[in-house]
Amino acid sequence: MITVNAMGDNCPIPVIKTKKAMQELTGPETIEVLVDNEIAVQNVSKMAASSGGKVTSEKKGEKEFRIVIEMEGAPSQAAGEEEETACIPDARGNTVVVVSSDRMGEGNDALGKVLIKGFIFAVTQLDTLPKTMLFYNGGATLTCEGSDSLEDLKSLEAQGVEIMTCGTCLDYYGLKEKLAVGTVTNMYSIVETMAGAGRIIRP
């Protein structure tokens, strides 16, 4: 694994450092990029994905983020060229995603669980990320240990998306100690967040 330390670097330096490491590859390799802000996560992730990398990211602590890029080899010369010096603004809009179940739609439960996993992954691919994602009732299980969507949710959190799960729901399901991403919230905050949203998306 190659580590790119871009802690303390302002845009576009994290992108440039990462791009340089990618161009020096001679075969399949994993690149770890360390940055200290959400905008850098967004910019590096966008560039790496456009260059053919498989990208995941997570928040390790306050002002401490880790991006992992799996590459099959060096990108083509044109790939990601535009993003090398581009500093996109905060890619979060005033959208709130509300998830109230661990499955999507009605009918077959197994299919519903496949669909909700696909839905959350699709959120990670939006050009404009949501500001907040709210999880309550059965949806609370998706932010806890064992969830198939944890990797995607951690990636969203690393890019500044606020992940909030209903505390009453976690208590009801006995999951309060198993919350693995985001923070615990209450019904007042849930209502306040939804009331202030520019738009609300429900799977």
What does the alpha-carbon distance between residue 43 and residue 85 come to, in Å, rounded to a whole number? 10
Amino acid at 146: G
Angstrom CA distances, 139 to 80, 97, 159, stand at 36, 11, 21
> Helix or strand or coil: residue 79?
coil
Local structure of 90: helix, strand or coil: coil
Closest by CA position to 180, among listed 56, 70, 58 = 58
Taking the C-alpha atoms of residue 154 and residue 163, their distance in angstroms, rounded to an integer, is 9
Helix (H) or strand (E) holding 121: helix 109-124
Q: Is 144 considered catalytic here?
A: no
CA-wise closest residue to 25 among 48, 58, 56, 59: 48
Q: Which residues are catalytic?
A: 11
